[in-house]
Chain A
Amino acid sequence: MTHSIEVKDLTLNFGSVSVLKNMNLNVAEGEFVVLLGPSGCGKSTLLNCLAGLLEITDGQIFIKGKNVTWAEPSERGIGMVFQSYALYPQMTVRGNLSFGLKNARVPQAEIDKRVARAAEILQIGPLLDRKPAALSGGQRQRVAIGRALVRDVDVFLFDEPLSNLDAKLRSELRVEIKRLHAQLNNTMVYVTHDQIEALTLADRIAVMRGGIIQQLAAPQEIYNRPANLFVAGFIGSPSMNFLHGATVDGGQAIQLGDVKLSLDGYEGGAVGTRDKVILGLRPEHLVVQDHAEPGRTIAAVVELDEPMGADSLVWLKAAGGQMSVRVPVERRMDAGRQVHLKVDMSKASLFDAGTETRI
């Protein structure tokens, strides 16, 4: 199988600042890859490099097997959707959709056909003769997607397309983009800082930080087996609890202050005895119970609870630090109450405190 997008040793420097470092990325045909990370991590920059809007310092970019490293954006066989929609304000929706095709000297009949098809897919037919100013945010973003659609290309690039929309519209359009992907089955690279978007849309997620891909894997893999401390902390809301300790008994158990937990059932590499490790436990993987189980529970004191509708987030003092646990909202947790947290070691993550990577 040929790769739809192939990035080889891509490096980008702005002056003396290195923005992307020796990056390699392959995207399979029809795959939906999400670039996820905090602002400034280089995700949008990488997308702009793929689009040809930024000149790279070193490396190569192939799209559909063709070296496009030095090609103009319009010659790369890509369509792009922007955060601010970037619709041409003085043109009608039809004008916006056909501008690129006119520049490429596509015959008028063909333009009409493609615009009609895009309008049908995105249900924007009635809007074709309006100007962008007369459209709602959601409609504008549909037109922006339509502009990529009419180009009849195999690769779609999305640059935080939903960030400017309110929460309700965002989830609607998210579903729509997913449906579009299923329907067109083309390659999509999607930049976002919203992990819900990433987890719901992606075939694979590339979590980025400091111009480096930290982990590239399927959403469940990223969620369950984060490759390092950064990915573990970045993915999941509320974020993962981190407990500092050391592994003992030849890697059979972990000592967290006074608490000793058995590592029985941990899914990872050979643990061994290490002085400094960090145990990561997601709030939804802990169970609050009244009785202690030696080696399986952590004693804790309730500090406060935050009901959030379906469930409630309970903050506790445990193992010398603060932890949060997700419980059904019906369970009232009064401050000061003594409880025990049962740990499911098969869903836990263990990190080396020095290298910050998963063991």
Chain B
Amino acid sequence: MADATLAAPTRAAAVPRGARPKRALSGRNIMIYGTLFVFSVYYLLPLWVMVMTSLKGMPEIRMGNIFAPPVEITFEPWVKAWAEACTGLNCDGLSRGFWNSVQILIPSVILSIVVASVNGYALTFWKFKGSDVFFTILIFGAFIPYQVMLYPIVILLREMGIYGTLWGLVLVHTIFGMPILTLLFRNYFSTIPEELFKAARVDGAGFWAIYAKILMPMSLPIFVVAIILQVTGIWNDFLFGVVYTKPDLYPMTVQLNNIVNSVQGVKEYNVNMAATLLTGLVPLVIYFISGKLFVRGIAAGAVKG
């Protein structure tokens, strides 16, 4: 099962297998395209509403219909969301959260991928006594509710003196990214013929040389998949951000929630939607650029060891 599921998603783009439709406008076709169309409306509606609302002024919102395009396009809500929106603590907009998220994202993505790829490599080619046991615990760990480990990690980070700091959160992301990324890399590396690894050893390459000179250059696609997975995952994180950082370090998602659900002042729906859209922009851009690699990345999440 394990290997089958990883292999299968990569073939997701392969030829469809269903029976060939006979006529262009058969009842069958109407049903198929009808279903797909109705669901597409469901999926697209929120994006449409977000964009439209964020481009309207408040008077127009109060007057009209949230689905209608703006009569008068204004970018004011976007500017306000970025630079002026209030969270209850301060009023310098989402920009602070954005830069916090960037600062959290970059080291977290790099560290988690380096650790997990080396780990997957060791588990594939340099098995030692007990390595499979640790791997099994690691994979099962992915299913443990985070809530069970929240507080022990607080203690751990406090002992290390990095509770409430950026590096504390980076460490947490590295830890919780490890199961899925290790699995991803291990499964990819185990498709590489073992003879290649043996040949490199006969050629005198050691542990790190084989990793850096042979495996890494061969595995660029899986590194891209891992980057996509981690960028979207870490960017979208809310719980760890709220638990392990202090308000001035809050990532964008936490700040967004504080802005929109803040009880003070008049609700500015256009600003809220602009802020929501801004927060969703990074993963959306990654998604649209990466295309099929994203599918492969999330499908990797479906794989068990």
Query: Is there any pair of Cβ atoms, one from A and one from B, under 8 angstroms apart in the complex?
Result: yes
- Closest beta carbon of chain A to B62's beta carbon, Å: 61
Contact A82 B204 (CB under 8 A): no
Known: A84-B193, A88-B214. A99 touches B205 (CB 8 A): yes
Interface: B302 (CB within 8 A)? no
Interface: B159 (CB within 8 A)? no
- Closest beta carbon of chain B to A160's beta carbon, Å: 10
Of B7-15, B32-40, B136-144, B195-203, the one with at least 4 CB within 8 A of chain A: B195-203
- A159 vs B209: C-alpha distance in the bound complex, in angstroms? 24
Of A23-31, A71-79, A178-186, A276-284, the one with at least 4 CB within 8 A of chain B: A71-79
- Closest beta carbon of chain B to A47's beta carbon, Å: 10
Count of B residues near A, CB < 8 Å?
16
Residues of A within 8 A of B201 (CB): 52-53, 72-74
Contact A103 B209 (CB under 8 A): yes
Known: A100-B204, A103-B204. A147 touches B218 (CB 8 A): no
- A35 vs B218: C-alpha distance in the bound complex, in angstroms? 33
Interface: B217 (CB within 8 A)? yes
Sample of 12 further A-B pairs with CB below 8 A, known A84-B193, A85-B195: A52-B201, A53-B198, A73-B198, A73-B202, A74-B205, A82-B199, A83-B195, A88-B196, A88-B199, A99-B203, A99-B213, A100-B204
- Closest beta carbon of chain A to B128's beta carbon, Å: 11
- A75 vs B200: C-alpha distance in the bound complex, in angstroms? 13
Interface: A86 (CB within 8 A)? yes
Residues of B within 8 A of A80 (CB): 198-199, 202
Report the nearest B residue to A74, measured CB to CB.
Answer: B204
Q: Which of B217-253 contact A (CB under 8 A)?
A: 217-218
Count of A residues near B, CB < 8 Å?
26
Q: Which of B203, B205, B213 contacts A147 (CB 8 A)?
A: B203
Known: A73-B201, A89-B218, A104-B204. A84 touches B195 (CB 8 A): yes
Contact B199 A103 (CB under 8 A): no
- Listed A/B pairs (7) with beta-carbon separation below 8 Å: A51-B202, A73-B198, A73-B204, A78-B202, A80-B198, A90-B217, A90-B218
Interface: A48 (CB within 8 A)? yes
Counting chain A CB atoms within 10 Å of each CB, the highest count among B195, B199, B213 belongs to B199
Chain A residues with a Cβ under 8 A of chain B: 48, 51-53, 72-75, 78-80, 82-90, 99-100, 103-104, 147, 159
Contact B199 A86 (CB under 8 A): yes
Contact B218 A100 (CB under 8 A): no
Contact B203 A74 (CB under 8 A): yes
Residues of A within 8 A of B209 (CB): 103
Residues of B within 8 A of A87 (CB): 196, 199
Proximity string of chain B (50-89) to chain A, C-beta cutoff 8 Å, 1 when within and 0 when not: 0000000000000000000000000000000000000000
Proximity string of chain B (259-303) to chain A, C-beta cutoff 8 Å, 1 when within and 0 when not: 000000000000000000000000000000000000000000000
Residues of A within 8 A of B217 (CB): 90
- Closest beta carbon of chain A to B126's beta carbon, Å: 12
- A53 vs B194: C-alpha distance in the bound complex, in angstroms? 11
Residues of B within 8 A of A89 (CB): 218
Report the nearest B residue to A99, measured CB to CB.
Answer: B203
Contact A82 B198 (CB under 8 A): yes
Residues of B within 8 A of A103 (CB): 203-205, 209
Q: Which of B198, B202, B205, B213 contacts A79 (CB 8 A)?
A: B202
- Closest beta carbon of chain A to B93's beta carbon, Å: 46
Residues of A within 8 A of B200 (CB): 88, 99
